[in-house]
Every structure is written in structure tokens, then in C-alpha cells.
Structure 1
């Protein structure tokens, strides 16, 4: 394989490259720069005289953050810090992960995307390729200041969370996801690149908005769309190497599955909405075995929603069951049912079903509603991925509690406003019998009898950063479905009895960098075993993985 500069970037685990410049947010440390270093770094006189240790600077910023009135104001404040000093920004994220993750990502990032054009500050953060750039993408890539990119997140803005087509305003998602790659797995901030493919928008509100920053034209659906995606992939791999990770993010159903199928064997890529969501959901379900006493294969699963997330979870769940029982995936799918907007997905509907639903069209009686399907199938677990708030109402939850001693209720739709039910509703309506998880965070719940529950958030941040780190550790050229299963399995193993005792299926966010390291080891090991690694296997894989993790609290001036 052709050697590229990107293949050596894993060695840049500290700020040891390039010329220091006060206007470079990756290298700039402001008042946290030792006074004796300011002269040779060229910033003497550009910052106040005091030296403020990074830990104290973080505390100062947290006080300001907590004084902001709304989550969106907090988001904008944090982004203003990232614009100036990435080290300070990531020190905040690492030291206060649980508190700031809901601001940096879900649920606040939804509001940030909706207001992206209005709050845009002109910051150099990511690249935008529109239909007008066709034929020039490889040349335009040279405008990006870093020549060492290992990790790209790309969106076309069509299906942003549960908010729909936001067009170029969806750029907040790749920016947020890559912030989590760094905060949760230590991918160096100088080596990440958010990308927006601007192919127009079908959101009339955007088109009429004078501040909207994208192409004001209907969304491209024809050959020009595919040509732009192809040109982007080929240009990215030519520029940064064949092992550059390219993560699909928030593409619409029309394109998400077919683009993943088209590129999964040609590039190091995966779709986080299909595969990452699946992995974190399956990880929680694997952990639930310790509470229900049931293995995956002993459950009957019913999904409310049959889009990218729903069928992605269902397919990985079937894969996990097939491994558990040593049976074909086709047989494992018989334990999994889907409900879409027209009712239960059945064989009688084959002619009208979208391709991604066909594998779960079972030979059962038709049901026109979720409640009918619950009565007919008596599932032990319901998975909400419909983006329809209130779908899991009091009657649904009571039915689940009636048919099961410990019903699994997973309200996974994002942001919080789209959740199928709240944690309080699930616990109250089932009298504390539910094992609940969600896509967005919910506060702990205490029932009238004093029982306290801390529900787990099935956040994709438990999965994709560790996968990216594992890919980096092995310089692997592919991400496979088995990688997603391994990540789910490792995640479930990180849940302790302390979490399980309060009904939580996920480890605390304070341990997320440790979780990412364990996932990375599994991913890197699998890459070596399957022949997609392009780097020699180190003697101590965990030690190697941890050596790659950027830590904002380490001295950036020490040569490594």
C-alpha cells in the first residue's frame, strides 16, 4: 500500500509538530502557558502576566459555564473556548465529562444545529464541499491546515437527530462527534476533520432564511449526489491515506444504507446511526442479562420504528444471537419484530416494504398499532427508535409490566423532546419493574416507596471513539460488523454491580476513556487477526493504545 503521511500520525500524541502560533487553537495555551516559555513561544505580551495552572483555568471556566441561563448559551460559551484553546476546551470535557457531554452533544446539539447559521462565528472548524465544488475536492482538501488527519465525520445534513433535514446547519453534528472522539478516546484534536456535503435542502424554512449558509436549492437526488460522495471518498483517501477513518453521520434512509453498502469494502468507514447506535444498544441489552436472568436469545424484541437506527440495532442483535446460539443469522431474526408507521412489519406487506425492513417481515398476523403488537407478541423488550414522543404511554408500559417481571423499555430517540417516554414515566407506570435506558440523559428517579433508579443513557459516545482509537492503534483499513459486536460485548463487561444495583445498563461517563481504551484493544486485536491491520502487532496492546491517547492535562511542551 502507498505510504502516506497519515500513516505515521499516531506517533504525534503530543503537540510536537509545526510552529507554535498564538492564533492556532490546537497549540495555544493562553494564561496556562508557563511565564518562562512565553518569550520563545512568541506570546509574551499577548496574554496577561499571571500564570494560571490548567486545572484552575478549568475551574474558572466551569463557574462561567454554570452561570449561563440556557443550554444553548452554555454550548456557545464552550465553543468560544474551543475557538481559542483546544487544550482548555478538552481539559473541561475530560474533567467534567458527565456534566458537559449533554451540552456538547445530545440533547443541546439539536438546538445548536437549528441555530447554526444564526450563531456561526466564522471559525475555521471543518470543511464544506458543495455541489459547486464537484471536480475540485482533492485540490480543496489542500486548504485544510493539518496534513495529518486520521478521523473524519461526514454528513449531508438530511436526517439530523430526530429533527429532519437541516442542510448545512447539520454541521454541528460532525463537530460534536469529533469533540467526543478526542474527549472520550484521546484522538488528537489536530487530526480530526468535520465535513459537510452540501447538496441542498428540502427544508423550506432554511431556504427562506436570509441567514442560512448552505445552498438554497432542493436537495440533489440524482447522479450528481453519488458523484460528489465518490469524489469526496477518493479525495480523502488520496490526501490522508487509505486507512483514514470516515464516519457517515445523519444521512437519510434513502442514502444511508446504500452508501454504507457501497463503501464498507472500499474504505475504512462505518455509519454511526446504523452501526454505532446498534452497538451501544446491544451493549446495554447484553448487560441487562445480569438483571433479567435472560440471555439475548431468550427475549422477544419489538421495535417501535424501522428506520436506520431500528434496523441497524435489529441486525446487530440478530448477529449477537446467532453467535450466542451458533445458528444462522436468518434464524436469529425470528426473535425480532418491527413496527413502522403502518403497523407490524409482516410478510403480507412484502411488496410495499423498503429493502432494509425485508429481513424482519415475519409470517404473523397483521397489527395496525404498537399496542396490538404487544398484545399479540408479548415481547420482553421494546425498543423505541421512532422519534415519536409519547409512543410508550401509560398503557404500553403497563402492558409490558403485565407480561414481564422485568420488562426492558428502551426509549432511544434523540433529542430528549423526541424520547418515547421519560425515565420517570417508565418507572412509575411499571411500579419500578422496568429496566429503562434512553438515548438522551434523564435525572435519577425516586419512587414513592423510596426506591431510587439511575437510568443509563445509551450514548453512542461509548462506542465510536473506542472504535476510532482501535483503528488508529492497528492502522486498520476496514471496520466490520464483528467490530461492532465486539465493542458492544466489551461495553457490557465494563458495567459494574454498583451500576446494576440502581438499574443502570452503562458505566458512568466519568470512566468513558477507560471504556474506550478497552474497546480499542478489542478492535485492534480483531484487525490484526483478520488481516486488515497495516501496523505490526505491539507486545502490549493496551499500553500501545493508551500511548496514543491525547491528554490535555499532560505538559504539551515536553517532546515525546
Structure 2
């Protein structure tokens, strides 16, 4: 989700024209005489006043209601900003079910966009688990039931050749600077949800190329094509056309954020478009930045360089591939060779440990294959290699057993345990299990939020390795300078900025990630540094001095305050009549 939206909305100026009833056309004098005034104010169109971008709900002042022609369309109550926030919070908390809260927040955004973002910004910790992981995953599984109206663009496999025409239908295309696109094939840890994947992304585009999920074909409320997925060259050319249509419609600098594509397709498109478009894949690169940021945090706590840690990845999907790849780049930047960088990094997947004898190793992780006997059990592998850091990205709930956690704690004073899988039900272990089985010594972080744990009289607060700590800042910095591509270096930069964010006190308490309510601060910090990097490396189209970036972003950030709904007016000095006017008037009188 983006916390900084460089968009503007406003009201058009009011004007007045002669009343239509007083035209110069001849009239039948015997007809009914209209009693309308000679002039009517032509007001701002109602659809603009009450559009989601401009609707202040009960925040319209009395003058605004009268002059905008909406007086009487709402009750007499005029609410302050604080009262509006209180009303929204009261409604939000009135729902006991998280999916109901998600539905309420979605309705709020559809009707009152600025109030929505204001409420989110003020209540990030409360709201983020609802509009993001874990609740958004559950909502996607029943998205057909929750669908209420236009939230994005749906492009189906039958729209080939017409994508630009469809994109031109987007009502606010002049202000569109970034797009989040999914084909719904790998939504969180929930698999192929097809068009229901629209619920995961924000401006959202869903490429509906069908779904292989038979239960969706049979679901009467499913909103997408009940057809098998497009594959092969047809699928690739379909996405190619989409990418080109985006830049033709919105401009070459439009940032395209890929979300929840199947791992092979995600990497294929990432490589295919690397030098052609301003794009990134959040599941690979955003997760990688957050993951490496956490590893650098463990380095801060243990005071042991990353190259000396033994790191084991459980899972070989987008997340594991992305983090291991960026970790390798970090180690290479420290002067290690590829062999040295890969030496202490192990990967385990459904087929067991990734060894050189395996024939089914994805190209991205071949470098990490080890010369060792096959090991099919994660517990056995942990016992053998004694990892100091264990990273889970498998979607298999409970994979990190008591034996695994106790084994790590027996070999390391502060073992690092990352249970990345979303939603919570898919987490490899809970925070309570990590702390309990490590005697409270684990440095634990998860993808979805877990509550604090009381252990031996001490309150332990788990970290959340949330992608909201990376992609908003990466997007913000890139959009600010209108870069036409996103080089790999900015993801390393984001990881280091993220790792520096926790204070020494946080680190001493075992917390390696910021608190979720600090997400806006994190986005600004990363955004500024990313923008500076792009400027200094001649990748920025907008001419800015690096020292100007911070203030420029603040000046152009999305404004959470409505301000006046009326057009601004200004005073002129008194304009006295010309001295000759009186004489001219007398001359005209004589001629009458």
C-alpha cells in the first residue's frame, strides 16, 4: 500500500450565466410567466462535489453546502476532522469480524477517499492488518461476494488488441503515475485466485487470463473468466501488449508494480522488462529488501558479520529467491567472490536440501547448491548444518517444529527465526513457539503480525517483516524524480536504510524492524535516499538537486486535509471611474 500519493483534486470555479427562461427568443405572452430569477449560479457539478476524491461527508461547512448546491442533501450536523475520525473509528470497531472491517474500509475508500487515507495514516497499526496481510488474503478468497463497484481495471485475455482503449477508460488517467498489476495466480499463500486477486492491489489492474482453480469455475459469485489460464507465448505476448499500452497511455515514466505472479513468470517478466520499463516485482524485490534489512538487523544484534552466519532458507519460491539473491549482492559488495558469498547459504524445498545432485534446481538458486548427500528432512538438515538464521517462506504452517527451534537455540545464543509466510495460518511457527522453545532468546520476525509474548516475566515483542516497509519508499523515490527504470542498487539501499531505522534501544530489546505505525516515516526516509541515488546516477528525468528532495516530497505529498471546497477569491484595489466619464455621460444624454 502507498502512503504518499502525489495527486491533486479540486473544485472548478463557479460562474453565472443568464437564466435560460430569459432568452431573446420570441415568446407567447399568454403563456404562464416564469417566476425564476434573472440569473442562476451555475454550481460545481454534483458528481464532482460528491466524488470520492472531493466528498467531505459531514465536513462541508454551511457556506460550502449553500454555494455548492448541496444544502439539504445531508443533515444539519457539521463535523470537525476529529469528529469525522471518531465516527469512522466507532464504525470500524463496531465490527467484530475482520472481513467485515475490510468491507467497511473498502466502502469508505469508494465514497470518501481522503477520509479513508487520513484514517489509515492515523491508525496504521490498527488498520494495516485489515487492508493488508493477513485479512486481505481472506477477503480475496470471497472477493466476488465483497465486490461493490469500480476499484480498478479488469483486462481479460479476450481484450488483446484493445488494451489501450480499456486503459483510456480509467477516469483519473491524467494523474496516474503508478500501477499495481496482478494476474492472480499466486495470491499470498493461497494460490490461484484469478480475478479475485484484484483485492490485493492498489491503482489496481487485474489481468484476467483465466484460472485453473476449479472451485472458482463453479462459484456462482466468481467475478472473472471461468476458463483455463492462458499459457506460453500467448500469455507472454498478452503481458507485452499490456506493458506497452500502459506507457502509451500514461507515459514512459509510469511505475508498474508486479504483484503475486507465479514464481517462474515473476522472474521471467522481471528479467524481460529490466531495461525497458520502470517496473519492479514486490514479491521478489520488495520482499528481498525487507528480508535483507532484517538480516542486517541480526548483524547489529549479534555483532557478527553476515558472511559468518549460516543461513538456511526453507522454501524456494519468489521470496526465498529474492532474499537470497539480494543477500548475495550484499556479500559481493563486501568483497567476497560468488563462491564465498554462497558458501554459508543453504536452501531447502519440497524435494529436500538443494544439492548439486538435484536435477530440478531453478536457475536463480543454482549457485547455492551444495556438494552434500541428499537430506529430505528439515529437522535433519538443521541438525547437520547448525544454521544461526532460519528463514521460512513455504506457506506451510507449523513447519518450524519444537525440535528445530530447540536445536538452533542449543547452538546459538541469539538464533534468528523468520516465519515469513502469509496469512497467519500459513506461518511456519508462531511468536510464542519461537520464544518458548528458545528460552526467550530467539530474534523472531514474521510476515503477518503476532501479539507480544510474556516469557519469564519479560514482554517480548515480535518484529513484522512487512513489505510496507520497502515498496512505498521505493515507489515514492522513483516517482519523485520520474525515473524510467529501477536499478537493483536501490533495493540494497532500501535494505540498509530499513536496518538503520530501529534505535539502539530497539536493537538491544531484540526488535530489528520498525513498528508498523512508523511505516510512513520509513517510506519518507527510504524515498528520499532512493531519489537522491537516482539523481546522482543520472537516472532521474526531473531536475532536482539532491538537497532539495526531502522538501520537494513534503510539498507534493498527498494532502490528507480537504481545505476549502470553494474556489479561492482575492481582492482588487478600488477602481475609480475615469474623470471624463461624467462628461461623456452628459454628451450621450443630449443625443437621446
TM-score, normalised via structure 1 length: 0.92
Match 2:125 to one of 98, 121, 133: 98
Aligned to 1:278: 288
Q: 1:119 pairs with 146, 149, 157, which one? A: 146
Aligned to 1:391: 399
Contact 1:75 1:103 in 2 (8 A): yes
Partner of 1:190: none
1:332 corresponds to 2:341: yes
Q: Which residue of 1 aligns with 2:28?
A: none
Task: Give 1:81's aligned residue.
Answer: 108
Cα distance in structure 2, aligned partners of 1:433 and 1:194? 41
Contact 2:181 2:204 in 1 (8 A): yes
Is the contact made by 1:14 and 1:559 (CA closer than 8 Å) also made in structure 2?
Answer: no
Question: Following TM superposition, by how much is the alpha carbon of 1:254 offset from its aligned partner in structure 2, in angstroms?
Answer: 2.7
Residue of structure 1 equivalent to 2:185: 158
The structure that has the greater radius of gyration is 2
Contact 2:181/2:206, CA 8 A, preserved across alignment: yes
Q: Distance in 1 between matches of 2:249 and 2:512?
A: 41
Which residue pairs with 2:166 in the alignment?
140
Give the C-alpha shift of residue 330 in structure 1: 4.8
Q: 1:294: Cα distance to partner?
A: 1.5
For 1:519, which of 501, 517, 526 is the aligned residue? 526
Structure 2 residues not aligned, in runs of 5+? 13-43, 569-592
Higher RCO by CA contacts (8 Å cutoff, separation 6 or greater): 1
State whether structure 2 residue 368 is matched by structure 1 residue 342.
no
Q: After the TM superposition, which segments of 4 or more aligned residues of structure 1 sit over 6 Å from their partners?
A: 17-20
Q: Deviations over 1:270-328 (max 9, x none)?
A: 000001011111111112223211122221110000111111110011111222x2224
Taking the aligned partners of 1:492 and 1:362, their CA distance within structure 2 comes to: 29
Which whole-Å CA distance do the structure 1 matches of 2:337 and 2:49 have between them? Answer: 58
Q: Distance in 2 between matches of 1:329 and 1:472?
A: 33
Contact 1:455 1:505 in 2 (8 A): no
Corresponding position: 1:16 with 2:10:
yes
C-alpha change, 1:125 and 1:406, in structure 2 (3 Å) is: same
Q: Distance in 2 between matches of 1:371 and 1:558?
A: 66
Other-structure match for 2:552: 544
CA distance in 1, matches of 2:554, 2:339: 39
Relative distance call for 1:489 and 1:41 in structure 2 (3 A) is farther
Match for residue 412 of structure 1 among 377, 401, 420: 420
Q: Distance in 2 between matches of 1:245 and 1:559?
A: 32
Output the CA distance in 2 between the equivalents of 1:453 and 1:42.
Answer: 56
Q: Which runs of 5+ in 1 are unaligned?
A: 1-9, 179-192
Distance 1:105 1:311 in 2: 23
Alpha-carbon shift at residue 530 of structure 1 (Å): 2.1
Distance (Å, rounded) in 1 between the aligned partners of 2:91 and 2:267: 43
Match of 1:254 among 251, 264, 269: 264
Verify the 8 A CA contact 2:11 2:49 in the aligned structure 1: no
Q: CA separation in 1, counterparts of 2:49 and 2:79? A: 17
Task: Say whether the 8 Å CA contact 1:15–1:557 is kept in structure 2.
Answer: no
Give the drift of 1:548.
2.3
Aligned counterpart in structure 1 of residue 89 of structure 2, from 52, 62, 67: 62
RMSD over aligned CA atoms reads 1.8
Q: Secondary structure at the match of 1:128?
A: strand
Secondary structure of the equivalent of 1:506? coil
Partner SS state of residue 490, structure 2? helix
- Describe the shift of the 1:258–1:279 C-alpha distance in structure 2 as closer, same or farther (beyond 3 A): same
Residue 13 of structure 1 and its aligned partner are, at CA, apart by 4.8
CA-to-aligned-CA distance 1:217-241 (integer Å, 9 cap, x gap): 1111122211210111001011111
User: 3-state SS of the aligned residue for 1:291?
Assistant: helix
Contact 2:474–2:530 at 8 Å: present in 1 too? yes
Q: Distance in 1 between matches of 2:503 and 2:64?
A: 44
Check conservation: 2:11, 2:565, Cα contact below 8 A.
no
How many matched pairs?
A: 530
SS at match of 2:75: coil
Contact 2:210 2:229 survives alignment (8 Å) = yes
Residues 41-60 of structure 1 aligned to structure 2 (within 5 Å)? 41-60=68-87
* Deviation of 1:554 (Å): 5.7
Q: CA deviation at 1:329?
A: 4.1
SS in 2 for 1:469: helix
Aligned to 2:577: none
TM-aligned CA deviation for residue 559 of structure 1: 8.4
Following superposition of structure 1 onto structure 2, how do residues 151-300 of structure 1 map, counting pairs within 5 Å? 151-174=178-201, 178=202, 193-300=203-310
The C-alpha deviation readout for 1:65-104, integer Å capped at 9, x for no partner, is: 1111210011101111111100111111011000100001
Structure 1 residue 402: Cα displacement: 0.8
Distance 2:243 2:551 in 1: 32
